[in-house]
Amino acid sequence: MLSLIGYIGRTIRTFLQHVSGFFWLFGQTLSWIFLKPYRLRLKPIFQQMEFIGFNSIPIVCFVSLFFGLTLAMLTSYQLEKVGSELLVGGLVGVAFTRELGPLLTSLVISARVGAAITAELGTMKVGEEIDALDTMALEPVRFLIAPRLIAIVLMLPLLVILSNIMGILGGYIIGFTNLHMNTGFYFRMTFDAMVLKDIYTGLFKSVFFAFIIGMVGSYQGFIVRGGAEGVGRATTTSVVTSIELVIIVDAFLNAVFYFI
């Protein structure tokens, strides 16, 4: 009994330590972004924008296109039973702009970019490069975290827009080939079903997801211990934690936008 209570106590203490450390690092990063932006260099930001945004375009397009294809195939199969297969375009459009575009893109970026951020910073931590920056009175947050966070917050909404387009295109391919819908009719049905709120809520959610992915990856990289094995553990933890938090925040924001 005592050992169980001790385990629970240690778990709670560790959790609170991580939460406090995460928010301290988050606060430091925001102070550099909003209070001292004049001291940030643009070149690292553009480099991270290229890595996070431009280099992620192929995988985002691939996942979104085939998910749009799959969603259109499955829904059209069911809608045909009630003679409503013409609604498939609107269903795919609304589903992607509200939910699937932001969520799929964030999960892809969590796996690709979040893991890379943790691995890069973790390797620097293990190699004592971050400690060297501290020794030289060069703020690691300024040089390592702030550029990455700015880049991911700027690029993730743009990737979500691309994901929405590719998902709708995937639905159109099924509508054109299987349901024999002409192009103008399909897109008219798609955009008639969508409202502006569908688009801006998805983009708004993507900003929250970007902060989660960027900060979780950075925090896990900063607390790495144990050499190469520790970097591997931190990278796995970063991806899993980012995905979990993205899904939780997504559910909360959907409740705020559509149920409260």
For the residues of 153-175, what is the DSSP string, one character each? HHHHHHHHHHHHHHHHHHHHHHH
- Residue 1, pLDDT score: 63
pLDDT of residue 106 exceeding 90, the answer is: yes
- Residue 181, pLDDT score: 85
Residue at 9 is within a domain: no
Residue at 30 is within a domain: no
Q: Which domain holds residue 64?
A: 43-258
Residue at 82 is within a domain: yes
The model's pLDDT over 43-84, given as tens digits with 9 standing for 90+, comes to 889 999 999 999 999 999 999 999 999 999 888 878 777 777
Residue at 199 is within a domain: yes
pLDDT of residue 251 exceeding 90, the answer is: yes
Residue at 188 is within a domain: yes
Residue at 139 is within a domain: yes
Residue at 24 is within a domain: no
- Residue 19, pLDDT score: 85
Gap between the Cα atoms of 16 and 215, Å rounded: 17
pLDDT of residue 37 exceeding 80, the answer is: no
Gap between the Cα atoms of 225 and 18, Å rounded: 14
- Using a cut of 0.95, tell me whether the model's pTM lies above it: no
The model's pLDDT over 199-245, given as tens digits with 9 standing for 90+, comes to 999 999 999 999 999 999 999 988 888 778 888 899 999 999 999 99
- Residue 155, pLDDT score: 95
Half-sphere exposure of 74 (CA within 13 A, CB side): 7
Among 246, 236, 237, 254, which Cα is nearest to 213's? 246
Please count the structural domains in the chain: 1
